Every structure is written in C-alpha cells, then in structure tokens.
Amino acid sequence: QVPLVESGGGSVQSGGSLRLSCAASEYKYSRSCMGWFRQAPGKEREGVAAIDSAGSTGYADSVKGRFTISQTNGKTTLYLRMNSLKPEDTATYYCAAVDAAYCVGPRFNREEYRYWGQGTQVTVSS
C-alpha cells in the first residue's frame, strides 16, 4: 500500500505556475525527510527539492528560485510550488519519503528514499 498520493499536475504554458500536493497522512514517518523527484522520458529520475525533519530545504540548481517545497504544520501534506515553468520542466513528478522517524539534511539521492507516490504528470508547452 502506497502511503503517498500526489495530485496537482497538469498542462501549462511556459511561464505558468502549478502547485503539486502529496498527501502523507497515512505515512507513519511523515516527519521524516521527504522530497520531490521528476523523470522525463528517456532520462533518469532526478531530485528537484527536498526537506528534512527540521524543515530545512534544498533544491536542484535547475529549479532554484522557481520551485518551493513546503509542508503543512502537521506534515500531513507535502507541496511543491512551481513558478516560471519552462518546457524542460516537463516530466512525471513523484513525492518520496525516507524510511526513518527523523532525518537531518535534505536528501537528493533517490536510493535513500523507500516510499514513492504514483507520480503526477506536468507538461509545459512553449
């Protein structure tokens, strides 16, 4: 059973915005490290934003200044706000969680993440 459920994907024009959500209320370690990854056709899955148990965040260089990762106070929902979208942001976006009750430092190595959502498609047209 997947405890993470993404929503909010869609199609937008270049320069537009989207907010992705990841429901984590069923995840026993919702206060652990969590992250957003994306995978475009023919490419490897890459980390774009991550947050640790203390709320410290990190971003891939390609999205810095445009994307913001956040959580609700109860950490039951993870968000990814995406502004100034570009065609190269087109991908399937996944939220993921580390299998640990507490985690220090945002993580970008997908091998550290055990739980994954089903993905939501984001398409940016020029």
Per-residue pLDDT tens for 12-66?
Answer: 999 999 999 999 877 777 678 999 999 999 999 999 999 999 999 999 999 999 9
Task: Look at residue 34 in the predicted model and tell me its pLDDT.
Answer: 94
What percentage of the chain has pLDDT greater than the value 90? 82
Q: How, if at all, do strands 10-13 and 120-125 pair?
A: parallel
| Segment holding 15, helix H or strand E | none
For the record, the structure tokens of 108 come out as 């970008």
Residue owning tokens 């609700």: 72
**119 in the Ramachandran plot: left (φ > 0), alpha (ψ -120 to 50) or beta?**
left
Decide: 41 and 111 in contact? Cβ < 8 Å: no
- 1 pLDDT tier (thresholds 50, 70, 90): low
